[in-house]
Structures are given as C-alpha cells and as structure tokens.
Amino acid sequence: MSKEFAVPPVVFPGGGGGVTGPPNLQQRRVPTAPFQPQPPAAAASSALPFLSFDIGNAASSATIYSGNLPTSSSAASFDEEEPLLDELGIHPEQIWRKTKSILNPFRVNTTVHHQNSDLSGPILFYLSLCLFQLLSGKIQFGVVLGWIVVSSIFLYIVFNMLAGRNGRLDLHTCTSVIGYCMLPIVVLSALSLFMPQGSYARFILAGVVIMWATRASTSLMVALAEGEEEHRGLVAYACFLIYTLFSLLVVF
C-alpha cells in the first residue's frame, strides 16, 4: 500500500500555474535594448548636478567680477609707481659718477661716495672681472667671490683696530670701497686678453694697476673716516695686499 505525501504546488514568478502548469508567457518582462532613451521624467531626475545653471548665482558672480575691473584711478596709481631699478636700489647715474671718480688716481672725488655706499656697482665690477677671466680660460667665480668677502672683512678689522673707538666705517662701506676700486683690476683683466702669457708688459701693467687701485682706495677710506689721516700708510699697505692678490690672480 503506497503512502501519499502532501506537496505544495510550485509557483513561478511569471505567474504560471503549478508544477505541471506552463508559465504565463504574456506576463513576462521583455528586456529593453541598451542605450534606450528614457522618458522625460526619468531624464530630468538623473541629470548631472553640475550641468544645472542658476541664473541668480551667475548674475551675482558677474556683479562681483565687474567690481574688480581696473578703473582709471588704479591705472593712474600704476603710472605713479617708481621704476624697477629704483625699487631694487640700482641707480645707474650714481654708479657712473662713482666710476668716474676712480678713473683719476691723483684726484679722487670723494663727495659722491659720501652720499651712499651701494653694492650694485661693485657687483657689476665683480661680474665683469669673472667674465674676462672666463674669456681667458679661467673659471674663477667662486674664488673671486671668496676673496672679496675675506678682503672686505680684513680691511674692516684692520681699519677699526687702527681707529679704535673712533672707527666710523662699517662692513658695508668697506665692501663698497673695495668693489669700486676694483675697476683697475677689471681693466687689467680686459687688456691681458690681448697680451701673451708671461710677457713683461703684463707685469708692468699689473704694477701700475696695483698702485692705481691702492691710491684710490686709500684716499676713499681716509676721506670717509674723517680724521684718520695719520693711519694712511697702514691702510695703504692693507689695500696694497688686497689688490696685489687680485692682480696675481689675473696675471697667472
């Protein structure tokens, strides 16, 4: 005798009948084709947020931008600004006057150096010296810069030790004086390009240039110190050592 079990009927999602009943084909969901255009309502809901434009925000931003436009007053203030060289502290006329005061070693004009001790002229002479040395086949930018710093400190210490408490020259002034009196060394470096190596003319010219630079720098140092005339010989000896060092750098 067989035993019967109560099995519940199986219902398909498509709405078909039981186990033996066929599925309802009419109620099946037909898949849509890819990239099928959506209805207007769905397209509006899925729109990207950054593509939506707000007219009020655009108007306010345009108002803010229009307020930052340059006006005639700002243009007038721009025309009243100082030139770039004056803002950087570079005065070509002052450099030219100080350069002319060094050209005559027997009559150095010290009044132009009393006004202001700048470093733009000395830097120009230092770069010129390094350029002429480079044309002669010597790369000495670091050597020249190091000797300039050591020479300025050396002259500053020597002069203030001689002057004692009455010393009025600072390191900035000593560097400016040494730099402007470097003009004869620059001339020697330029003329040595046209002279053979080891010729007597180079040594004679180097001696003349050393005396020229020593006399000019000594006159400026004594004049700027105001009352240190009794130490002229010692100051001249220190300046002589400095410019002899630079002239040997050019000759050899």
Where do the domains of the chain lie? 117-251
Question: Distance between CA atoms of 151 and 213, rounded to whole angstroms?
Answer: 14
Write out pLDDT tens, residues 203-234: 999 999 999 999 999 988 888 876 667 788 88
Identify the pLDDT of residue 2.
Answer: 59
Identify the pLDDT of residue 57.
Answer: 52
Question: Distance between CA atoms of 58 and 23, rounded to whole angstroms?
Answer: 58
pTM across the whole model: 0.66
DSSP assignment string, 66-113: HHTS--HHHHHHHHTSPPHHHHTT--HHHHHHHHHHHH-TTS---HHH
- Does the pLDDT at position 178 exceed 60? yes
Write out pLDDT tens, residues 134-172: 999 998 899 999 999 999 999 988 888 887 766 677 888
